[in-house]
Amino acid sequence: MRALIVEDNRDICANIAAYLEKLGYVLDFAHDGVTAMNLALANPFDVIVLDLMIPRMDGLTFCQRLRADAQIETPVLMLTARDTLDDRLKGFDAGADDYLVKPFALQELHARLRALYKRSHRNGDNLLTVGDLTLNRSTLQVHRAGRRVEINPAGIKLLRRLMEESPAVVDRDALETLLWADERPDGDALRSHMYKLRQAIDRPFDRPLLHTVHRIGYRIAEDGQ
């Protein structure tokens, strides 16, 4: 499991690292909200451990921006020394998924992170995954690197077929039949749809997953597949 730990107390960070890394976690650390946001935007984390009182951008603001602005739905466990009901409700309203009060046992931290991870992956049978791109066949939600990606209905149909066949090539005829059956429009409408799909799932990210196979069709795959 890959986790982002957002905590300005370096002793707490060291204790968390010593415990969780032995359990196989891959950890990244940020000691302020701005650095944490940059890391969250650039990397696909499974969970985020977020201290409420951090410099440069407090935990509540970070969580709100993560959800509302960045459209990232990675589970967030909020850490705080505040133990009032009002404080907990503010954390949940900001988008936190769970709440752990300081001081805490590292065993409980691990148990809560496992629970969050399992909860976020409970629809695994419905989840198509290629690299850091996922499509939930039940909800039709698409995420890449933990960020929500908005795709129109035609794009969802194309993406689902390509991900189901990945890393194989899906020929143009099959994709055109998928969209229009026997009533295909004039011109190269498929190319337009594939352009929009590529803009959604590839353009904001570092490496492309959607590849054109000249005169044959398209494929979705990580480089090297």
Question: Do residues 23 and 94 share a domain?
Answer: yes
Contact 60, 36 (CB under 8 A): no
Question: Do residues 16 and 101 share a domain?
Answer: yes
| pLDDT value for 125 | 61
225 within domain boundaries: no
**pLDDT tens digits, residue range 130-161?**
888 999 887 888 998 888 899 999 999 999 99
Exposed / middle / buried, residue 91 (Cβ in 10 Å: 0-12, 13-18, 19+): buried
Question: Do residues 30 and 132 share a domain?
Answer: no
Question: Do residues 40 and 136 share a domain?
Answer: no
pLDDT bin (cut points 50, 70, 90) of residue 121 is low
pLDDT bin (cut points 50, 70, 90) of residue 123 is low
Question: Do residues 32 and 113 share a domain?
Answer: yes
Decide the pairing of beta strands 133-136 and 147-149. unpaired
Question: What's 149's domain CATH number?
Answer: 1.10.10.10
Q: How many residues does the chain have?
A: 225
- The residue among 197 and 205 whose pLDDT is bigger is 197
Range(s) of the domain holding residue 204: 125-220
Query: DSSP secondary structure string, 80-110?
Result: ES---HHHHHHHHHHT-SEEEESS--HHHHH
Distance (Å, whole) CA 157 – CA 142: 12
DSSP annotation of 22 reads G
Distance (Å, whole) CA 75 – CA 73: 6
Distance (Å, whole) CA 154 – CA 197: 9
Q: Which residues contact 106 (CB under 8 A, 6 or more apart)?
A: 15, 16, 19, 20
Question: Do residues 178 and 102 share a domain?
Answer: no
Among candidate residues 73, 104, 120, the one where a domain is terminated: 120
77 within domain boundaries: yes
Mean pLDDT, the chain, integer: 90
pLDDT bin (cut points 50, 70, 90) of residue 187 is confident
Question: Do residues 101 and 26 share a domain?
Answer: yes
Question: Do residues 205 and 131 share a domain?
Answer: yes
- 3-state secondary structure at position 6: strand
Overall average pLDDT of the 202-218 stretch = 92
Decide the pairing of beta strands 170-171 and 210-213. unpaired
Ramachandran assignment for 3, one of left (phi > 0), alpha (psi -120 to 50 degrees), beta (any other): beta
| pLDDT value for 32 | 96
131 within domain boundaries: yes
74 within domain boundaries: yes
Question: Do residues 59 and 28 share a domain?
Answer: yes
Question: Do residues 189 and 88 share a domain?
Answer: no
Overall average pLDDT of the 173-188 stretch = 86
Question: What's 16's domain CATH number?
Answer: 3.40.50.2300
Side-chain half-sphere CA neighbours of 135 within 13 A: 20
Among candidate residues 90, 120, 150, the one where a domain is terminated: 120
How many domains does the chain contain in total? 2
180 within domain boundaries: yes
Q: Which two tokens stand for residue 105?
A: 């046992």
Using alpha carbons, list the distances in angstroms from residue 10 to 14, 26, 46, 61, 113. 6, 17, 22, 21, 20
